A and B are shown apart, each in its own frame.
Chain A
Amino acid sequence: MTEKPPFIKSREIKVVHEIPLGRIQRFWEELKKGKVLATKCQRCGVLYFPPASDCSKCLASNMDWVELSGEAIIKTFTYVSVRPETFQQTTPYMLAVGELKEGVRVLAWLVGVNPSNVKVGMKVKLVAKITPEGNPIYEFVPLE
């Protein structure tokens, strides 16, 4: 290795964004109670996951909350060995896209199964969970 040429360090800044969740607060509240919700446009009937407070198809803003069955099949998946900076303390994880019975697709972690046993088309369930840090999230688990 050649020696690194001279440089100066920029001033350090810590960046944290406060992301408003008010319009879809119910999603996170119900998630804490074990339910995964989507929104459905009252006017045109399109189902949204992630939940949206406005309809991008007909531009209406009257939405109903709908509980998802959680029944899904794996469309595709990967095992993430090389993690980004803020996931350095996390063990490698499996990411999957599952297609729910209701037709929406969800990207989430797939847990509780050995990566070598996962197959496209496999049946899984989307479930709500509280992380060790106390945050509600959703993830896929294999169907017994």
Chain B
Amino acid sequence: MKKVAIIGVGSSRFGVRNDVNMAELVFEAFKPSVEDAGISPKDIEFLAFGSAGAGVWCEEFLPAVVAAEYCGLTGAGIVRCEAACASGSASFLAAYWAVASGQVDVAAAIGFEKMRQISTSAAMEWIGRAGYYLWEFHNFGATFPAYYALYARAYMDMYGATEEDLALVAVKNHKYGSMNPLAHLQRRITVEEVLASPVVAAPLKLLDCCPISDGAVSIIIASEDKLKELKVDTPVWVAGVGYASETASIGKRPEYLGFKSSVTAAQKAYKMAKITPEQLDLAEVHDCFTIAEIMAYEDLGFCKKGEGYKLLRDGQMEIGGKIPVNVDGGLKAKGHPIGATGCSMIYELTKQLREEASNEGRQVPMRNYLALAHNMGGTGHYCYVTVLRR
């Protein structure tokens, strides 16, 4: 396998983007990524395009071909990758493999989703069907917040975490979101506001949930040989990748305290990168719901099982703490255009590792120049972990 580096990144503004159509939204992310890389669209030999639900919540059923045409990529090899909310990471992995295998020198991974062209209840319907429609949605109307609420209830019951503890995740991520001009939700909130927000699926309330967002992110990667040719001065290397999955039926899982897919994917990525979690300078973890971030700390090995919420109480997950997590606002505040999220994590980590965070208050001081992205699809159904090194 060849060494692979990230040479260009671009992100659209996340939010309700009814000012642009899907192709224009992708362009908003793509153009700065090729400018950042110092290449032109014709240099890109392969495009992996992540989208979970295009054709359902946006009109284009083949978003990859429409986006490729609009961005001047027609002729390159293209594929759409679906891994629910981890579709962006799946596209990044597909592009990584294309370059690592030696088949192509330059590839692009674009993560995309446009979810605000249909009603909120219709969007909830489709996301709720992301599991096992026949046995869990058809008769029982299991929603996505409901699935995570099942985990939250079991976790709180087992380890003694409270609704206030969950709220601390939202408060932290909104704080960083307020400093991120690309974020969907750019306002700080308090624990009291989270607790007073309407119940969605008990014990989860509105402010425990990420918003439904539009957004696109583009990542350009290249082989080591190409890097020398392009004279890239700050390459960010892909040091490790890991992936795993869980049962479609939530009912088939032995416990509801964390995700085995996260544990397995992380172990694979750490092993490939030859690092331990203690060496990481920062992480982007999948916080679609507040409980998900707490379980991720544990599954990724930042602390022991059942202790994730205690780290939050001590402020250890902020800049200056043990390991800063989601300093771009996370899914919770930057927003969660579901196919874009995996690439958004890679975008933020690349900026951080280059020490180019959009706001000084969000720049994490680097010790080892190592960062991790953890992206889940569905309720742990898919998991991808990526370790980056500068």
Contact = CB atoms under 8 A, between A and B. Distances in A.
Interface of A: 4-5, 7, 10, 19, 49-50, 75-88, 90, 93, 95, 97, 104-109, 115, 120, 135, 137
Contacts of A87: 141
B121 A108 contact: no
5 closest Cβ pairs, A-B complex? A78-B149, A84-B125, A107-B251, A76-B154, A87-B141
Given A107-B136, A107-B140, A85 B121 contact: yes
B115 to A, nearest CB: 14
Given A10-B59, A83-B143, A109-B140, A115 B202 contact: yes
A90 B145 contact: no
A19 B143 contact: no
B125 A86 contact: yes
Nearest to B138: A19
Given A75-B154, A76-B150, A80-B141, A85 B124 contact: yes
Contact of A120 (B124, B154, B198): B154
Contact of B153 (A4, A77, A82, A85): A77
B140 A95 contact: yes
A81 B121 contact: no
Contacts of B18: 4-5, 7
B141 A86 contact: yes
Given A7-B18, A78-B204, A82-B200, 12 more contacts: A4-B18, A75-B154, A81-B200, A82-B145, A83-B124, A84-B125, A84-B128, A86-B141, A105-B251, A105-B253, A105-B254, A109-B140
Nearest to A94: B202
B201 A81 contact: yes
Nearest to A131: B139
Contacts of A77: 150, 153
B157 interface: yes
Contacts of B62: none
Contacts of A79: 199, 201-202
B345 interface: no
A107 B142 contact: yes
Contacts of B255: 75
Contacts of A107: 135-136, 140, 142, 249-251
A84 B212 CA distance: 14
B256 A84 contact: no
B133 to A, nearest CB: 9
B119 A85 contact: yes
A107 B136 CA distance: 7
Contacts of A95: 140, 142, 146, 150
B151 interface: yes
Nearest to A81: B199
Nearest to B254: A105
